[in-house]
Structure 1
């Protein structure tokens, strides 16, 4: 029961809400110790502890823009995947095809334009406990997560893969000291919605030296794009598990061994004719097509705390497998394109298979300062070996099929890529004045990437293409990245900062070889580099009753990667285009009344193309000053939460909670020639229920107004635009049992 005037995290009450955020605050939340950090003394509840710079520190002292979500926020907002996360974060853009592998992000207008050219694009990198995840395995279902930190701006100083636009840092939950078991279940009210089951076991295994946890989840999202041939498209079945062992052989050593596995069975609708067509969204697919994806990871994190420093080793193996069947001649679209009845493309005249396998090994060794040290520093080295294989096959049976429209989208490809990446890094933060109010940060990273490739093309009957073609080579890239910042502590609860950061991502050989069908070599795409400038302010006000963070930024990117569709042709070619972007983001929260908390954020980004070469302009229609595709100018989120005793309902043994969200994503250009837009969309989400000592029960509604967000678009010809769409409304009930 709530007897105090203000409240904060569930089951925890305070005379005054002095946290920097929680499920009720709408922005950030106090967090436990990171996996690489051993437990310390009880922390001040007003401090938001993060590891955004690989050392544990108060977020108010970190001179960069970041959003933090704790486990309670993740649970109460039902943030179960990347798509739900980013709608709560200012200035993030997203492209997605619905097949799991093809979700790609940008931040502040920086990021690959449309689809990435290579499998190792490092625009926005997802990390789990410090380990970079495979690009095509980053759109994942969250499981057993303690905290998520979304870091905007280049993170190529202390993070392991030169995240040029930003990073998503996921910290998993560690085994508990006491036995804790939970069961969560959700059921939807109609067959197009979703069902979810999740269980977790955690507790000691051997005295105080060994603890363990196990979590597993299964979710089934029903398809809600009508297939006029029969049935529904868009179904997603996701299974995931994670097990963790935490050993503390002595007071200064901590070992964490984690094993995870994920399996997705998807039936994506892929592209549909854009809204404005009858029965949107709908398709006519025969065969329907499918996508299967599996991911796995094994990691060992060892941390030892010495008298003056901490030593951390991270060793990890990652596995990614994907295969699918895609119907490339969706009948409604191609009937419109070729002015033919849709029956002319049923059953499919053109389909393809895509088979990817990726294996990676990652090793990092670093040293860092102790918690709360006057001089904060981190230094280390890391190594990544990545092995990626792609096999795809296009099959066509008619001259009307798109494979016969383009000589490029034809044949069989069998490509093999290997990358060895080495890096040295270091960052130092120290006081510049005796009062220690003014501090400076300087960080530097050197990265060397060595990439080898072997690509084989085999004709499968297309007239005019060569019978076979092989190409191979090795590429070398050296990158110097880093950042410098000044931050001034106005008061204990107010900080000003300014920073400049150098970002980069290496070039490479494209995954998809365009010139091979004509017997010509494909040229590697160039490395990209950027400069990012930022000024900001971080503040806690009214004794912790409110908080607000403001950041202004400007980015210049050279040779951003573009996989562009050539005008009026079914051909996609790799290009490089410069971009520039500027904007702002504001996040905050406020205890507006005794049991009410308001929070949210707003972001603005203006991103445009610069220095477009004439040959690129001729092929793609891009022009100087055109807007960067998939980047919304405005993103907003607003959350109102209520939490109180259920006495008013006649249930004194329970608490009542309610949460309402409004999220808005402005319209975006679909491609670099800016010939059509993806419309703005908003989502309204609701959740309300009762919390008993060992049971939570609740009702929820996701996307109340049944909007259909459009994520990616292609224009085949004027008036024939296709898009990918997200899921509509989901209404259901859930429960969580604490044992």
Structure 2
């Protein structure tokens, strides 16, 4: 029954969006010339310009699926982090582990369910790859975000097997300007941010930005002084403090050379949950002693130099980043282990008896040299070389009464070198041919060291690996209308294999086992643009992904061990999106993603036919926004209101398909008043206070042999108000 209902929902949503498109075409075809212009207050949607292929072009010319959001759109939708963004991108799935450094992304059913494995979706800020362990931080001083779907193995490479998230920060401009924003809300949510922008000299401009954010927590934590005697009950879990500071300086070195230097620093202090018992009748709650604590310091910098060579533009992009993570956690949540053991939660509250400590740091350097040039009026070519080096070290120290005590240090050095090129060749006025390739060489040097307690026994291991492969894409684009393009693309992406940086078998003297590289062939066709109607923008695509040796992260609750298993997968689906502004000040938007992602083969035959984890069959989002001008003295301005609906379908939590998480729907409201450079607003998130789980894992079984699951609960209803002003 559930399958039939789900199918009906999908058909209704698909039919609804298709009817919008059909109606739009029908109106355009039947209306006489100029008829639409006679409708009062007809709006005109701007042409969207993106730089997904490392040069600026209209979004409809990009030969693969792409979603682009401006800073204004991010503000309108209250998108502050990657989890918010994922709900607005069809078939873009985010898995919250409770620990920001262990969260993962999945595009169209491709991507690991563990942060211990290299990602399939890479993350860039101002063109520089962000270390995977610290990608999930609050958006800060962002100008635009582009989500590129399908393998980006030509111009990006470096683990972009499924796609890439490309973030641009605000530019330093000559106009003297400043801004300030503040917000307060439920659970002690408070935030203040600001920027100052202007010219230092005739040829030099600068921008300085800062942000502070606090959140008091929303999950109750219970402490016990005796069996069943609660000594403390507070809402301290998921408490968070975030601070960020950035500076950007742009200089016109000569008439043909420009340079931009950016430096950013973030600090994120949290008291995270590592999971709650998701079948707890009193969900959500934890029983930690003490509550886990995480501190992440991140520094990032980039230097971009562009030089005009007349026939092309030469770009040098240098990136340097460093982060440090300090994490300490009670290994046992009292309520989870109580359900497994049958003992009361208070029996597991001895401070220091079951503790995991982790210290991790990473230094990352990247360098790219790139040439961009034109071919005629619509043609482009890009060619370049890149280098990447990463020095990573992580120490995990465990003190426990249930498992082996000791500290394991993993040290991983990576060197990645590549040469790439892509060309777009116009054939006539409407047809474009696209082709590109990238050759990549990567070497990895891994060493592990384990020291047991109390014996002091030592276990060492060393592993060396190297990989080389070719990725790229070929495609065609055709303008069926001046602002509407159809395209078809074949692309190949790959990410190297390697080793987990933590060895749970080290206490037994068993070395890590290397997992294989994973590769994907993607076949996609779609259309994007305006179908002859200036107030309508639509995009649609169909795709098929054939992935060999996907790196699946599995857990055996009996042995308490993690493992990586390579397996073949297939995923296919449909994506549709529409943005319409039929009259000025009234805008609608809708998108839907249908996906089927399945494990088709591998060494572990028991997984064949299972769903790929965290790949829901249906994702959807809708919004409507209306603005109304008022003339009332000092209150003269625009009143605005916005309603949003997002749907995340059911999904499996692991390759073994041990449990399916239920689908959930969220409704958000936002309303306010705006006048020139002043805005005051209020919001309600999760209006109907829906309870949902974002991710889960199998922890073991109880005395009756039933599985026990832990997971990360979503956030309940929240209210807030805020204001923004520009000077």
TM-score with structure 2 setting the length: 0.90
Alignment pair present for 1:210 and 2:204: yes
Please report how far the alpha carbon of residue 379 of structure 1 lies from its aligned counterpart in structure 2 after TM superposition. 0.4
Please report how far the alpha carbon of residue 372 of structure 1 lies from its aligned counterpart in structure 2 after TM superposition. 7.7
Please report how far the alpha carbon of residue 16 of structure 1 lies from its aligned counterpart in structure 2 after TM superposition. 4.6
Aligned counterpart, 2:34? none
Query: 2 CA distance for matches of 1:491 and 1:596?
Result: 25
**1:459 paired residue among 447, 452, 462:** 452
TM-score with structure 1 setting the length: 0.88
The count of residues paired between Structure 1 and Structure 2 equals 672
Report if aligned partners of 2:431, 2:478 keep a CA contact under 8 Å in 1.
yes
Provide the secondary structure at the position in 2 that maps to 1:236: strand
Please report how far the alpha carbon of residue 601 of structure 1 lies from its aligned counterpart in structure 2 after TM superposition. 0.8
* 707-716 vs 303-312, greater mean Cα deviation: 707-716
Aligned counterpart, 2:335? 332
Report if aligned partners of 2:438, 2:471 keep a CA contact under 8 Å in 1.
yes
Report if aligned partners of 1:55, 1:371 keep a CA contact under 8 Å in 2.
no
Report if aligned partners of 2:41, 2:584 keep a CA contact under 8 Å in 1.
no
Provide the secondary structure at the position in 2 that maps to 1:611: strand
**1:566 paired residue among 553, 556, 568:** 556
Query: 2 CA distance for matches of 1:251 and 1:76?
Result: 38
Provide the secondary structure at the position in 1 that maps to 2:172: coil
Query: 2 CA distance for matches of 1:484 and 1:304?
Result: 29
Please report how far the alpha carbon of residue 47 of structure 1 lies from its aligned counterpart in structure 2 after TM superposition. 2.2
Aligned counterpart, 2:714? 726
Provide the secondary structure at the position in 1 that maps to 2:253: strand
Aligned counterpart, 2:44? 18
- Unpaired runs of 5+ residues, structure 1, are 1-13, 20-45
Q: 1:483-517: CA deviations, max 9, x gaps?
A: 01011111102211111111100011211113322
Aligned counterpart, 2:420? 425
Please report how far the alpha carbon of residue 69 of structure 1 lies from its aligned counterpart in structure 2 after TM superposition. 0.3
1:155-174 counterparts in 2 under 5 A? 155-174=152-171
Please report how far the alpha carbon of residue 143 of structure 1 lies from its aligned counterpart in structure 2 after TM superposition. 1.1
Provide the secondary structure at the position in 1 that maps to 2:100: coil
- Unpaired runs of 5+ residues, structure 2, are 1-39, 224-232
Aligned counterpart, 2:85? 85
1:553-592 counterparts in 2 under 5 A? 553-592=543-582
1:26-41 counterparts in 2 under 5 A? none
Aligned counterpart, 1:671? 654
Query: Are residues 277 and 473 of structure 1, via their aligned partners in 2, closer, same or farther at CA, if it must alter by over 3 Å?
Result: closer
Please report how far the alpha carbon of residue 591 of structure 1 lies from its aligned counterpart in structure 2 after TM superposition. 1.4
Alignment pair present for 1:599 and 2:619: no
Query: 1 CA distance for matches of 2:529 and 2:501?
Result: 45
Query: 2 CA distance for matches of 1:206 and 1:727?
Result: 47
Report if aligned partners of 1:500, 1:533 keep a CA contact under 8 Å in 2.
yes
Query: 1 CA distance for matches of 2:720 and 2:504?
Result: 47
Q: 1:645-704: CA deviations, max 9, x gaps?
A: 123x67663111221111110111111111211221222111111112332111111222
Report if aligned partners of 1:99, 1:267 keep a CA contact under 8 Å in 2.
no
Query: 1 CA distance for matches of 2:376 and 2:221?
Result: 59
Report if aligned partners of 1:495, 1:538 keep a CA contact under 8 Å in 2.
yes
Query: Are residues 371 and 183 of structure 1, via their aligned partners in 2, closer, same or farther at CA, if it must alter by over 3 Å?
Result: farther
Report if aligned partners of 1:287, 1:347 keep a CA contact under 8 Å in 2.
no
1:651-730 counterparts in 2 under 5 A? 653-715=636-698, 716-717=700-701, 718-730=706-718
1:219-234 counterparts in 2 under 5 A? 219-229=213-223, 230-232=233-235, 233-234=237-238
**1:735 paired residue among 708, 723, 726:** 723
Report if aligned partners of 1:100, 1:293 keep a CA contact under 8 Å in 2.
no
Q: 1:11-45: CA deviations, max 9, x gaps?
A: xxx975322xxxxxxxxxxxxxxxxxxxxxxxxxx
Query: Are residues 708 and 371 of structure 1, via their aligned partners in 2, closer, same or farther at CA, if it must alter by over 3 Å?
Result: farther
Query: Are residues 221 and 73 of structure 1, via their aligned partners in 2, closer, same or farther at CA, if it must alter by over 3 Å?
Result: same
1:270-349 counterparts in 2 under 5 A? 270-274=274-278, 276-347=279-350, 349=353
Provide the secondary structure at the position in 2 that maps to 1:337: helix
Query: Are residues 542 and 657 of structure 1, via their aligned partners in 2, closer, same or farther at CA, if it must alter by over 3 Å?
Result: farther
Report if aligned partners of 2:413, 2:444 keep a CA contact under 8 Å in 1.
yes
Aligned counterpart, 2:389? 385
Please report how far the alpha carbon of residue 295 of structure 1 lies from its aligned counterpart in structure 2 after TM superposition. 0.8
Query: Are residues 66 and 662 of structure 1, via their aligned partners in 2, closer, same or farther at CA, if it must alter by over 3 Å?
Result: same
